[in-house]
Homo-oligomer: A and B are copies of this chain.
Amino acid sequence: MTSAAKQPPFIPFESFEIGQIQNFGAYEVTKEEIIEFASKYDAQFFHLDEEAAKQSLFGGLCASGWHTCSMTMAMLVENMDKTGRGLGSPGLDELRWLKPVFPGDILSVQMEVMDLLPSKSRPTIGFVVNKVTVNNQKDEPVMSFVSKGIFPRSQS
């Protein structure tokens, strides 16, 4: 079990800068994982059945959009294990599934700091607004969203 003590340290809110960009991740998408995820959470034929999926808008078996979100989160957490962690997230905006994610695709993340918002009601925290773009191995964006992360403010 992971304990709180064994987690990487928090990143202080003050360490972020607008315009800062990080690139990370190399998540290989498999047919087996697409079908396993969809069987549990998104049992639509274009996520389950290779033959039938050819008749869909997507042209072939592709990952559930929520699966792409989840694979992206796995890359975000792997990055946090290296750079430091946040306190959580209240949500996100402008989530767009731009292209289908197919078996064999290798996904990576580009994250750019768009805004820094100290909390008005809670002086101990601040919100970091990031544009998150997920690309496939051809550098085509397959998904993007604008996320908010909560980070602790340095006590001065």
Contact = CB atoms under 8 A, between A and B. Distances in A.
A9 B44 CA distance: 12
22 contacts: A2-B49, A3-B45, A3-B49, A4-B49, A37-B70, A41-B73, A41-B77, A42-B70, A42-B74, A43-B74, A43-B77, A44-B77, A44-B80, A57-B87, A57-B88, A57-B150, A58-B88, A64-B73, A65-B91, A67-B70, A91-B94, A95-B95
Contacts of A71: 41
Q: Is the interface of A mostly helix, strand, loop or mixed?
A: mixed
Interface residues on A, range: 35 or more
A83 to B, nearest CB: 14
Interface in A33-69: 37, 40-46, 48-49, 51-53, 55-58, 64-67, 69
A2 B48 contact: yes
Nearest to A1: B49
Contacts of A65: 89, 91
Contact of A52 (B3, B40, B80): B3
Given A4-B52, A49-B1, A49-B2, A42 B77 contact: yes
Interface in A67-113: 67, 69-71, 73-74, 77, 80, 85, 87-97
A55 B4 contact: yes
A70 B95 contact: no
Contacts of A55: 4
Which of A6, A43, A64 has most chain B Cβ within 10 Å? Answer: A43
A7 B69 contact: no
